[in-house]
Structure 1
């Protein structure tokens, strides 16, 4: 098979494999919330705990998958992720309490690490000349998966019920994931893209070397601040709309706008990062999101608020889409998985839980002062913009 055709199959297979973990992570907690509350007599906080376990599962295994993929190969890890994700969703159909739901949440988070990190590594090795674009495409499949499949899940839930929906979704994730994993592999040594990847590997920094660099820690704290600011909008968008007098159906438009640009924006920012630079692309998006947060409490009108939420969603998607290629620029491809896995701990262990929790605490303490909360989140994006401009490609750092 010609290399250009082969790498197209690899890119599509990687996107298909990561689609299912994304659809479960971003779709099931919201869609099945009511069922879990009624079936297990759980309150909103207990159901919301699924997000914590999803993040914990993903973060605990992200670094390990980065190390294991070089030993066992990306295809085997992706296959294991498909078995874990699809199998745990099959098992979810018989869950009898929230503890078992939490086990599913941790398992689906872990399965995403086994698929996401190998897939992100593979597509960049096959397309060394367009790493930003293919990383953006891959991330778009992950981020938009729930938006694409949730209407189908909702329809099947009403027609089939909870048990048949989870069984059907689990079977689909398992079968498609295993087929896709067979195509997920590193370039062969006799292919041109492999030569490019090999030369990159020879110039790679080890994990210990990366940890001693300014670039690593600036990237890590960028994920703390930009990750916390972006993740907060996921839980604040609808509440802000309700606080401003919108009905629930209209308030959800803000969240929809955020999610759309969070998904589609990943492809756009990845494309531009190949042309104007990774750090510059991220800094521009973070500055715009910071300004959007500062302005958001003041204009009145659904569509103005939705447009500002969309700007914030674009910046959140950019963080995911461009950070991987930027890490390759700074540390090389040879140990990318392990290095990026460590960078991701900033989001999984700090930013993801901290941003929504801190925002909620401030709102409770101030009686719903969104101006204060949004000002704080805007400043986080400004800090992230400053930090990411410090991060420069390795070849520039050594000059």
Structure 2
């Protein structure tokens, strides 16, 4: 190992896919823990109002299925509005340890608007509530993309899929813990005090953010890079540092010509349409059709998140081995089957539990694989750009709750079964569209499936421009 121009170099770490690598260093694990907690707080701030709190919101503001579906859809669109410009803004400020500077600005913004939503006097009308939540989503969506990028920059390249998968368990497991917290608040104070739940992640995120700020320093990041090289692994910013720390001019234009970087946002949007659709469908179905109490609804609506985290770890690691593309096909088909099974969830609480646990094994596992694919396909210095495109594509997910709200209304309203069943068929159909899109319009980036891959687009078009990459690797 040697250091040249301030950059760690080693003949053993230029390529990814080494047969033997050492253990993961302590700095990666510490960064994982802190960024996991930050994403968990972000996720609960973002999704409670479009999930477990929906019945309470409906009761207070007296809104119908079309309006509540439109609200959830608009919130999904909002989280992608500024994701791309803010992630590019984050890339330009620095990578690795230095990413914290602009990330903290974004974190402060989405935390502030959650706090304002939780103040009763400020949200006495549905319009005011809508505005504060839309502003929260605008910044929290970009926050997630940057949190994922930060994890990728604190872990060796050989473990990127596993790392992103483990980190993203903060979404399902954080949501599960959040659902229990909501149920606890409802039990103690009553469902009409639902705004109190929003103060929980606001209070918790401040000390976590301060610890991450103190942890993420230049000196500690250099020690992390040395530990990675010593273990025979590839430093995640090796190519970025060789290129001067910034993406080559024209990175955004080239990204728009890369099928992988343009299709992963579409896939993320389809997957999120179903995820937000399930998050809307379950509490409404349990509260108004199955007739569970609002406290029970809050707890039972998040059961699928228990296995959601397990699925993220499994599928992220599997994608490192067999490839991103076959893993995505499997998970999209899995969700399609699980969604169709939800029509039997109202028969008995045991069925509700079993079906949700089966469904959860894939619902969340899709996203880390998509993030890993976009990271693989991005040019050096532009991973934030690739992940920002991914988050921007999630705006497509807004169609899920909007259509579901329309279908529930058309089927007879909140207390009728028909609209809920039509919604399940709609969500399963979106997953099948995703499967066809994966097969035809993406190319494999890693794993054993790479040499067997086929699509209507070329491999060269889907991976980073080799001339740009060679420029970064040249002395």
Which interval holds the TM-score relative to the shorter structure? 0.7 to 0.9
Q: Contact 1:329–1:393 at 8 Å: present in 2 too? A: no
Equivalent pair of 1:232/1:356 in contact (CA under 8 Å): yes
Tell me if structure 2 keeps the 8 A contact 1:132–1:325: yes
Cα offsets for 1:19-40 (capped at 9, x unmatched):
211122233555655766677x
Which shows bigger deviation, 26-35 or 136-145? 26-35
Q: Are 2:421 and 1:377 aligned?
A: no
For 1:293-327, what per-residue CA distance to the aligned partner results, in whole angstroms no more than 9, with x for missing partners? 45554799434465444444333212222111111
Q: Does 1:228 align with 2:273?
A: yes
* Farther-moved stretch of structure 1 (258-267 vs 189-198): 189-198
Bigger Rg, which one: 2
Comparing both structures, which one devotes a greater share of its residues to helix? 1
Indicate conservation of the 8 Å contact 2:75/2:134, yes or no.
yes
Distance 1:75 1:123 in 2: 12
| Distance apart, 1:120 and its partner CA | 0.8
For residues 70-85 of structure 1, the aligned pairs below 5 Å read 70-72=91-93, 73-85=98-110
Q: What residue in structure 2 maps to residue 24 of structure 1?
A: 45
Residues matched between the structures, number = 394
Asked if structure 2 preserves the Cα contact closer than 8 Å seen for 1:133 and 1:271, the reply is: yes
Q: Tell me, yes or no, if structure 1 residue 123 matches structure 2 residue 151.
A: yes
Distance 1:78 1:300, change over 3 A: closer
How far apart in 2 are the matches of 1:154 and 1:253? 6
2:385 to 338, 353, 359: 338
Q: Closer, same or farther in 2 for the Cα pair 1:135/1:233, shift >3 Å?
A: same
1:290, 1:382 within 8 Å by CA — same for their partners in 2? yes
Corresponding residue of 1:43 = 63
In 2, distance between residues paired with 1:37 and 1:83? 29
Q: Which runs of 5+ in 2 are unaligned?
A: 1-22, 413-417, 451-458, 464-475
Cα separation, 1, equivalents of 2:319 and 2:351: 27
Alignment correspondent of 1:149: 178
Does the C-alpha gap of structure 1 residues 38 and 214 become closer, same or farther in structure 2, counting only changes over 3 Å? closer
1:278-297 equivalent positions in 2, closer than 5 A: 278-294=324-340, 297=343
Say whether the 8 Å CA contact 2:32–2:167 is kept in structure 1.
yes
Please say which of residues 201-210 and 255-264 is displaced more in the overlay.
201-210
> 1:17, 1:176 within 8 Å by CA — same for their partners in 2?
yes
What are the residue-to-residue correspondences of 1:66-215 with 2, within 5 Å? 66-72=87-93, 73-92=98-117, 93=119, 94-97=121-124, 98-127=126-155, 128-156=157-185, 158=188, 169-184=201-216, 188=221, 191-192=225-226, 193=228, 196-201=235-240, 206-215=251-260
Normalised to the residue count of structure 2, the TM-score between the two structures is 0.70
Q: Please name the residue that 1:316 is paired with.
A: 363
Cα pair 1:80 1:114 within 8 Å, conserved = no
The whole-number CA distance in structure 2 between the counterparts of 1:304 and 1:294 is 13
Alignment check: 8 A CA contact 2:70 2:402 kept: no
For the aligned residues, what is the CA RMSD?
Answer: 3.8
Structure 1: tracts of 5 or more residues without a match: none
Q: Distance in 2 between matches of 1:379 and 1:57?
A: 24
The whole-number CA distance in structure 2 between the counterparts of 1:369 and 1:32 is: 21
Q: 1:181 to 1:103 in 2, by over 3 A?
A: farther
